[in-house]
Structure 1
Amino acid sequence: MPLSETALLRFLASVHPYDSLGPAPLQELAPKFRQIEAAAGAPVYALNEELQGLYLVHTGEVEVTDENGIPVSILGPRNSFGERGLTRGGRAMTSARSTAQTLLLLLPKAEFHALMASQPQAAKFFGRRRPGSRETSSLATTRVEAIMARDPVTCSGGLTCQSAAQLMRDRRISSVCVTDGDTLQGILTTRDLTARILAAGKPISTPVHSVMTPDPLTLAPSAIGSDVLHLMMEHGIGHIPVVEAGKLAGIVTQTDLTRFQAVSSGEMVSAIARAGTAEDMAKVTAEIPRLLVQLVAGGNRHEVVTRLITDIADTVTRRLLALAEETLGPPPVSYLWLACGSQGRREQTGVSDQDNCLILSDDLNPGDEAYFEQFAKIVCDGLNSCGYVYCPGGMMASNPRWRQPLHVWRSYFRGWIAKPDPEAQMLASVMFDLRPIGGEARLFADLQQETLKAAGANSIFTAHMISNSLKHTPPLGLLRGLATIRSGEHRNTLDMKHNGVVPVVDLGRVYALQGQLDGVNTRARLEAAEAAGVLSPSGARDLLDAYDLIAQTRLEHQAAQIRSGGAPDNYLAPSDLSDFERSHLRDAFVVIKTMQSAVGHGKGMLS
């Protein structure tokens, strides 16, 4: 249903930068917006299409994808899109489609440019670029260090060609780097062996140094994908060693380029949806670390990366639910599988365990429990096989406590709210992040609204939740320093999860409770809290910027670990950062500490 003039004005006044225009300019601008209703799945615009203007989401959801069909943004209410195309010749550099029933507000192109020319606030807002951000993830602009194979196979120049060929056969590779210590001397490929040994009739005992290509063309890790492509095309080669400070650091082959371009969340989701077993799915989820590296290297923002990674977990879960039903037969009563924790918030990174539960219909009969016990076991075991390891705290549907009829869940939440002891606070914090994944969503809708209303109305419970949210503190030390972990395995590092991201997650949950907001994603909660007046515009902007910096730094740290051949974790050594980066990270922690103080003193907002 179209918005009335009053409703449109009220909405625009809650969205930046329109909230800074003043009553008269806003009154003049509002009628210029066209209202467009889009059904789920309807295209908004296509790649290279001439854009009609600036789009603003009023209700619903829009997915923006790059030229390869990879999602780069999932946009909800109060998000704008299309402005980059308007400021770059009017052509769309992405595609967009609605993923739910959506109401869009379109500011035509001429009106958009007039707004940019007449209102400095709008020009500053729509013209800004966050440091390090890019519009899409592209092979051509990705650094070589994110593409190359590390620890390439090497041999000495004195090795025989037969031994070198056997080495390549055994390692299933098409080239070997010839080195003296760490110094690259040449490269030997299967093509060299064919042309210079077999075709020339030379003995297989010929030493590698007489057949190899000496002093081959190389690139540095800081080169970009287009350098690789141009070098290969110009010289007709398929292998380029990567050298840093005179030492061999890796190698890029045509296979690496193909593999890099082949990894996409869309392809992974498609493969999982067709998988016949958990083992088949595990082969796909094993590629998640490489996907994370690719997405981060492509300049994607943290909320896009974590959303795409979480979408894979959601697909795995739904496929396992279907396989469980195929194995056990139709469920005796309706059910709803929900995720909590980082999956519930759509914030999964390269390190994730599983947190889930099962709500069953109140029509459940005593004999039906055996079915759902086996059902939950199949799904939880399958998730574990796919890398989503069992929750250390047992927060899983395989635990009978978290596999109950709806009326039991209602009693759980009522009890936690009525008696907010430490365990109740912890459980309520986890369960406020619930998100339906598969089954009958209606089993949760009323429960969620009832719980938010009851929790928000109970000042004692809210006070306890606020107190609980302050237990995770930013790692701030004295004299403008950063407080690192003092002992143990992770000594002298920052815990970017529990002392970085989690404090903001906790604040977002408190704001959602205070405003009775039903979103669970942290960034969406902060934006909704601002729109609802729970959080001031200045406080929201500061906290969002701080959260973005911390979450992005955490993801980049994990991507760097994966590129180095290690397992990703959340422990960052400040010494790995520049003075500039440490200073800004500390400023972000100060913002969070300030916001925690405001909430702790009952202020809720920054002025």
Structure 2
Amino acid sequence: MSPTDLTVLPVGQLMTRDPVTCSPDTPIQSAAELMADHQISSICVVDPDGFRGLVTVRDMNAKVIAHGVDPAGPVSAVMTVDRTTLPPSALGLDVLHMMMERRIGHVPIVDAGRLVGIVTQTDLTRFQALSSADLVRRVVEASDVPAMARVTAEIPTLLAQLVGTGTRHEVITRLITDIADTVTRCLLKRAEDELGAPPVPYLWLACGSQGRQEQTGVSDQDNCLILSDDVTDADMPYFAKLAQIVSDGLHACGYVYCPGDMMATNTRWCQPLRVWRGYFDGWIAKPSPEAQMLASVMFDLRPIGGDEDLFADLQADTLAKAARNSIFVAHMTANSLKHAPPLGVFNRLPRGPLDMKHNGVVPVVDLGRLYALQGQVLPVNTRARIEAAIATGALSKTGGADLLDAYDLIATTRLRHQARQIRVGQGPDNDLLPATLSGFERSHLRDAFVVVKTMQSAIGSGKGALG
């Protein structure tokens, strides 16, 4: 199924909510002015009892202009009363068929007599045109940062659309992350165009959810710069300016500044390769709480733009050194257990909001990172790490299959929650109320959390490799 296959999408996820309306006694001219002010081609007519009809630009032309209906008269005189409507449960395919059969361009969505939305040909065209590839193209073609920001502002709509068409969670987050990667590379190019060619090779890397290719509708920026060891003190101002240009641009495009200052604008994270090697060696040799936290973040590094040779050996060498240090592995194991699934007494879900990030996906992310360390596997994506852990024997096939299923359910539930918020005009977040789920959904989500909790217990007892 295509990620933009509107034929299987429920109309409730496709329609424009809160359409412009007027009462039946509104003067025709006033209705026309409303349409012009809102730049729309139709207006819905409602009264206290519900939906009454629809007036389109075609109605205005045919009845007012062509046949001389008085513009001061009520809009009910020119509205189409017997307009066929659809319920929110209808599919996009139903809208297409109705438009083709009746040669219309507007379909009101009515639920129990009440107008809840409208679908127009423009909505269908916009839906079919909106894709991650389209957003990537428009980011590349953007003339300036504000133009790029207007494109990235459409990412929540894309997320809701992809969720609505049943696209798998790892595909959705990959597509959304691809847009962030493109934005970053375009900003790097703009920085070089402004500052001139870099004095030495460099590599811009992402960590966090962008590094793992797991971005959703809520993402800040986490990044760093690795510079060639040929860099001099005189070169550093260039990279400070480059980092500021890119970071400011990302912030303007909705990837807000990292609250923990894990950004290339922080001089600590804009250093030559030899310094980065020292960072990792120090964290592994002396695994303090800060070292564990930083190592966890940095194990998710992924090159975005620049000279990737600066990272290849560093990643492989660090994994090998870390895996050989049993004390470091023990500390990383303890660190991976800090985020627990949201289960209470008798493994019950709490009544209050579930943090689907820190208590939902993060426990699995931490487990995946630990399995990658044990198996010395290079992927940074969580699902890929679990699959690689199964392949290398760091995780049993049975335990791995259970963990993958649990992760898929948790991550999908999180995205569905964000998509529901986006569709009603809310900003997406990670706080899910269990009461918004069906009993069936709550039961399966609880089971998924129990799987994660069991895997954490196995890791904590030293049986993690057995799953």
Q: Same fold (TM over 0.5)?
A: yes
Aligned: 1:512 with 2:366: no
Aligned: 1:253 with 2:120: yes
CA distance in 2, matches of 1:357, 1:215: 61
Aligned: 1:447 with 2:314: yes
CA distance in 1, matches of 2:286, 2:104: 70
Aligned: 1:460 with 2:327: yes
User: Could you say what secondary structure the match of 1:472 adopts?
Assistant: coil
Q: Deviations over 1:246-281 (max 9, x none)?
A: 321110000000000010111111121222321221
CA distance in 1, matches of 2:346, 2:233: 62
- Judge conservation of contact 1:595–1:606 (CA < 8 Å) in 2: no
- Judge conservation of contact 2:29–2:71 (CA < 8 Å) in 1: yes
- Judge conservation of contact 1:241–1:250 (CA < 8 Å) in 2: yes
Task: Give 2:35's aligned amino acid.
Answer: M
- Corresponding residue number in structure 2 for 1:599: 459
Q: Among residues 555, 576, 586, which one is paired with 2:415 in the alignment? A: 555
- Corresponding residue number in structure 2 for 1:401: 268
CA distance in 1, matches of 2:466, 2:114: 52
- Judge conservation of contact 1:241–1:251 (CA < 8 Å) in 2: yes
Q: Among residues 8, 27, 33, which one is paired with 1:160 in the alignment? A: 27
Displacement after TM superposition at 1:372 (Å) = 0.5
CA distance in 2, matches of 1:476, 1:245: 39
Aligned: 1:481 with 2:386: no
CA distance in 2, matches of 1:513, 1:482: 31
- Judge conservation of contact 1:309–1:349 (CA < 8 Å) in 2: yes
Task: Give 2:194's aligned amino acid.
Answer: T
CA distance in 2, matches of 1:493, 1:245: 31
- Judge conservation of contact 1:156–1:178 (CA < 8 Å) in 2: yes
- Corresponding residue number in structure 1 for 2:86: 219
Structure 1: stretches of 5+ with no match in the other structure: 1-133, 485-491
Higher relative contact order (CA 8 A, sep 6+): 2
- Corresponding residue number in structure 2 for 1:78: none
User: Could you say what secondary structure the match of 2:54 adopts?
Assistant: strand
Aligned: 1:502 with 2:362: yes
Aligned: 1:428 with 2:295: yes
* Number of aligned positions between the proteins: 467
- Corresponding residue number in structure 2 for 1:325: 192
Q: Deviations over 1:280-324 (max 9, x none)?
A: 211111111111111111111000000000000000001111110
User: Could you say what secondary structure the match of 2:394 adopts?
Assistant: coil
- Corresponding residue number in structure 1 for 2:279: 412
Structure 2: stretches of 5+ with no match in the other structure: none
Aligned: 1:527 with 2:394: no
Q: 1:245 to 1:493 in 2, by over 3 A?
A: farther
Aligned ranges 1:139-218 → 2 under 5 Å: 139-181=6-48, 183-218=50-85
CA distance in 1, matches of 2:366, 2:350: 20
CA distance in 2, matches of 1:349, 1:482: 24
Aligned: 1:303 with 2:163: no
Task: Give 1:540's aligned amino acid.
Answer: G
* Structure whose residues are more often helix by fraction: 2
Displacement after TM superposition at 1:384 (Å) = 0.6
TM normalised by structure 1 equals 0.76
Identity %: 66
Task: Give 2:446's aligned amino acid.
Answer: R
CA distance in 2, matches of 1:296, 1:590: 25
Q: 1:181 to 1:415 in 2, by over 3 A?
A: farther
Displacement after TM superposition at 1:245 (Å) = 2.8
Displacement after TM superposition at 1:425 (Å) = 0.8
User: Could you say what secondary structure the match of 2:464 adopts?
Assistant: coil
What value does the CA root-mean-square deviation take over the aligned residues? 1.1
CA distance in 2, matches of 1:244, 1:313: 38
Q: Among residues 373, 376, 390, which one is paired with 2:243 in the alignment? A: 376
- Judge conservation of contact 1:137–1:300 (CA < 8 Å) in 2: no
TM normalised by structure 2 equals 0.98
- Judge conservation of contact 1:184–1:215 (CA < 8 Å) in 2: no
CA distance in 2, matches of 1:538, 1:478: 26
Q: Among residues 425, 432, 444, which one is paired with 1:572 in the alignment? A: 432
CA distance in 2, matches of 1:479, 1:469: 23
- Corresponding residue number in structure 2 for 1:584: 444
Displacement after TM superposition at 1:480 (Å) = 4.5
- Judge conservation of contact 2:160–2:419 (CA < 8 Å) in 1: yes
- Judge conservation of contact 2:323–2:373 (CA < 8 Å) in 1: yes
Displacement after TM superposition at 1:429 (Å) = 0.5
User: Could you say what secondary structure the match of 2:345 adopts?
Assistant: coil
Aligned ranges 1:234-245 → 2 under 5 Å: 234-245=101-112
